[in-house]
A and B are shown apart, each in its own frame.
Chain A
Amino acid sequence: MEAYKKHTSIAALMDRSNVDTDQIIPKNFMKKVERTGFGIHLFHNWRFLADNVTPNPDFELNKPAFKGAKILVAGENFGCGSSREHAPWAIADYGFNTIISTSFADIFFSNCFKNSILPIKVSKDELAALMAEIAANEGVEFTVDLEAQKVTTPGGIEINFEVDAFRKESLLDGLDDIAWTLKHEDKITAFEEKQKQALPWLWK
């Protein structure tokens, strides 16, 4: 996994709540057997007109000012719906590595960390302030410092955010979760032996 570094990047504004995984990546694009190449389908139904190729000029992420954005600022309950990891794959492949919202759906939230995406939870007021700054100055660049757990903006906003210590470390180092877990393999084996004794029918 790629390590997450401190960066200063364009922040794109998506002022919608309950953005669900069916919108992030519509199911007709989930049939691939690879992890890559989903970015071109991100938000497909909103992003393209009925011919499926012409960019929809009314869709916020199609604004030239948001081109190359790495930070997505969106409304509450982002990523609700399915467990499809195709959603964070598409988001990462499109170029985002940070999503800022007041809340995220559980499975989506944990899927982000597996794909070097940092989901940042902020308060309602903080989100409103960030959104207002983008709206007033489209193309503005925010700085995200994971080490310091801080978002700063040219407009003078400074937000300290929370992140689970283990997840932070994994992101910063680009750690492989499976390799970390396998360091505890003796514990797993011991658990299995104990379960074989206590609940033998699970092993028949």
Chain B
Amino acid sequence: MTKTMYEKIWDANLVHEPESGSPLLFVDRHLMHEVTSPQAFEGLRLQNRKVRNVHSILATIDHCVPTKDRYNIVDPIAKKQVETMTANCAENEINLYGMDSNQNGVIHIVVPEHGFIHPGMVVCCGDSHTATHGAFGALAFGIGTSEVEHIMATQTLQQKKAKTMLVKVEGQLSKYATAKDIALAIIAETGTAGGTGYVMEFAGNTITDLSMEARMTLCNMAIEAGARAGLVAPDQITFDYLEGREFAPKGDDWATAVEYWKTMVSDEGAEFDSVITLKAEDIAPQVSWGTSPEQVVAVDAVVPAPSDFDDVVKSQACVNALKYMDVKAGQKITDINIDIVFVGSCTNGRIEDFRAAAELIKGKTVAQGVQAIAVPGSFPVKEQAEAEGLDKIFIAAGWEWRDPGCSMCLAMNGDELKDGQRSASTSNRNFEGRQGKGGRTHLVSPAMAAAASIEGHFVDIRDWK
């Protein structure tokens, strides 16, 4: 019988399927940050339970960290959260890339850098963007804090099997269309609930041509389509990325591991519950205009009108979004002015993202009145960028070159939009207030964000000089 990759990972990690009750799935890797873990540690303590497999955990501090003057956490409650994380990890001997570590950064950036995630694994984190690690062919998904506690105590999760969706993208991407644009185009197609109940496997030659970094960007956004997880089949690109990294298999284990990983892909002819197909040629650089990632169009399009939607719910959502975003139906996307530009986050905070942005702003200057900030996803990304001289390009163009953290992706650390401000942001969510109460977010790729910083409004980078 043929199986999909999801089914293979499920079967390989199934601990027990009792007649009554829930299947128990083994969790190979458990990632943590300061916001969603304290209550889980507290729960363990109250029940006198221990962390079962300490080596399976990697932790960081990222959401509350200031990107300027990083030790100066002004909010006393945020400070306590950071201290609690540090203390919890010390007490349980958990590997933490904390405030003082030169490996610190956003969890979903840091973890792959160390080769901690391999094909075929089950990976969990109290964070929805855990989906990122599906880029390695691992089943990676977000969980709540009760489940964080459950994994610490039992190394398993009570899980129900998901349905499978194949998302096929074929063809050659146009210049300046990126993994971010593929992700947004897929969400435009499925809607934010279209993936609910599914694990999405991304396949097709457009996907297999993507670098590991781009695959991470794509899988990161699977959750915005409502999917439980995103997956890309492991291949030579995956193996080359992993080889030699700290937690990758070493010595004789390497060859055995690669052989095993090669088997953890969907069989020829495996059946999916749902299939959607996109042509890469049709994917233009995308810009979100509303307050949900599905409210997105190509840069050369206009803001839609409520009457453009047959579905009453979507039509009403359009009315609300136009009002909140202060954009007009029929307005050209390229006529939308912006105040702030943010390049960073676990979606687009990797080295390739800064290279792409730097390429477009080199020798140019940020538009009057625009604030532009570059926030590397981790210290290793920052160092690499500086070694390539990218920081100088950003600074010369009038950008701020900051320290790593989640920063303006969700604005918990003080970096935020003020009421009414509008951003071009490379992050993943444009919900109302996500980047600050009353703030308006337009999701774009790093290259699109970079060009917008120079012009002060969105531009079609395919024909921009």
Roughly how many angstroms separate A22 CA and B155 CA in the complex, as a whole number? 29
Residues of A with C-beta under 8 A to B71: none
Roughly how many angstroms separate A104 CA and B197 CA in the complex, as a whole number? 10
Q: Are A83 and B144 in contact (CB under 8 A)?
A: yes
Segment of B13-21, B90-98, B167-175, B265-273 engaged in the interface with chain A? B13-21
Residues of A with C-beta under 8 A to B395: none
Q: Are A30 and B35 in contact (CB under 8 A)?
A: yes
Q: Are A180 and B313 in contact (CB under 8 A)?
A: no
Nearest CB of chain B from residue A188's CB, rounded to whole Å: 6
Q: Mark B290-330, 1 if CB is under 8 A from A, else 0.
A: 00100000000000000000000100110010000000000
Q: Known interface pairs A106-B228, A107-B144, A110-B144. Does A45 touch B432 (Cβ–Cβ under 8 Å)?
A: yes
Residues of A with C-beta under 8 A to B55: 203
Nearest CB to that of A182 among chain B residues?
B154
B-facing residues in A24-41 (Cβ within 8 Å): 26-28, 30-35
Q: B429 is contacted by which of A35, A81, A88 (Cβ under 8 Å)?
A: A81
Q: Are B77 and A32 in contact (CB under 8 A)?
A: yes
Q: Mark B333-352, 1 if CB is under 8 A from A, else 0.
A: 00000000000000000000
Q: Are B145 and A85 in contact (CB under 8 A)?
A: yes
B47 at the interface (CB under 8 A from A): yes
Q: Are A114 and B26 in contact (CB under 8 A)?
A: no
Q: Known interface pairs A33-B84, A181-B158, A191-B26. Does A85 touch B193 (Cβ–Cβ under 8 Å)?
A: no
Q: A76 is contacted by which of B36, B193, B437 (Cβ under 8 Å)?
A: B193
Nearest CB of chain A from residue B411's CB, rounded to whole Å: 7
Q: Mark B238-267, 1 if CB is under 8 A from A, else 0.
A: 000000000001100100110010000000
Scoring A23, A103, A104, A181 by chain B CB atoms within 10 A of each residue's CB, the highest score goes to: A181
Nearest CB of chain B from residue A200's CB, rounded to whole Å: 7
Q: Mark B1-25, 1 if CB is under 8 A from A, else 0.
A: 0000000000000011010111010
Scoring A28, A33, A191, A204 by chain B CB atoms within 10 A of each residue's CB, the highest score goes to: A33
Q: Are A105 and B81 in contact (CB under 8 A)?
A: no
A80 at the interface (CB under 8 A from B): yes
Q: Are A33 and B196 in contact (CB under 8 A)?
A: no
Q: Are A188 and B411 in contact (CB under 8 A)?
A: no
Q: Mark A176-204, 1 if CB is under 8 A from B, else 0.
A: 01101110110110011001000111111
Q: Are B49 and A178 in contact (CB under 8 A)?
A: yes
Roughly how many angstroms separate A38 CA and B253 CA in the complex, as a whole number? 48
Q: Are A17 and B317 in contact (CB under 8 A)?
A: yes
B146 at the interface (CB under 8 A from A): yes
A165 at the interface (CB under 8 A from B): yes
B39 at the interface (CB under 8 A from A): yes
Residues of A with C-beta under 8 A to B147: 110, 114
B181 at the interface (CB under 8 A from A): no
Q: A45 is contacted by which of B292, B313, B437 (Cβ under 8 Å)?
A: B437
Nearest CB of chain B from residue A109's CB, rounded to whole Å: 9
Residues of B with C-beta under 8 A to A23: 431-433
Q: Are B412 and A31 in contact (CB under 8 A)?
A: yes
Nearest CB of chain B from residue A47's CB, rounded to whole Å: 12
Q: Mark A138-154, 1 if CB is under 8 A from B, else 0.
A: 00000000000000000
Residues of A with C-beta under 8 A to B18: 184
A-facing residues in B14-58 (Cβ within 8 Å): 15-16, 18, 20-22, 24, 26, 28, 35-36, 38-39, 42, 47, 49, 53, 55
Nearest CB of chain A from residue B23's CB, rounded to whole Å: 10
Q: A107 is contacted by which of B81, B143, B253, B434 (Cβ under 8 Å)?
A: B143
Residues of A with C-beta under 8 A to B156: 181, 188
Residues of B with C-beta under 8 A to A81: 128, 429, 431
Q: Mark B435-452, 1 if CB is under 8 A from A, else 0.
A: 001000000000000000
- Chain A interface residues toward B at CB < 8 A: 16-18, 20, 22-23, 26-28, 30-35, 45, 50, 75-77, 80-85, 88, 103-107, 110-111, 114-115, 164-166, 177-178, 180-182, 184-185, 187-188, 191-192, 195, 199-204
| Cβ contacts A to B, 21 pairs, < 8 Å | A18-B193, A27-B410, A27-B412, A31-B78, A33-B39, A33-B42, A77-B193, A82-B127, A83-B130, A83-B143, A83-B144, A84-B36, A85-B36, A166-B20, A178-B47, A178-B49, A188-B16, A188-B24, A201-B250, A202-B28, A202-B118
- Chain B interface residues toward A at CB < 8 A: 15-16, 18, 20-22, 24, 26, 28, 35-36, 38-39, 42, 47, 49, 53, 55, 64, 75, 77-78, 80-81, 84, 118, 121, 126-128, 130, 141-147, 149-150, 153-156, 158, 160, 192-193, 196-197, 226, 228, 249-250, 253, 256-257, 260, 292, 313, 316-317, 320, 410-412, 419, 429, 431-434, 437
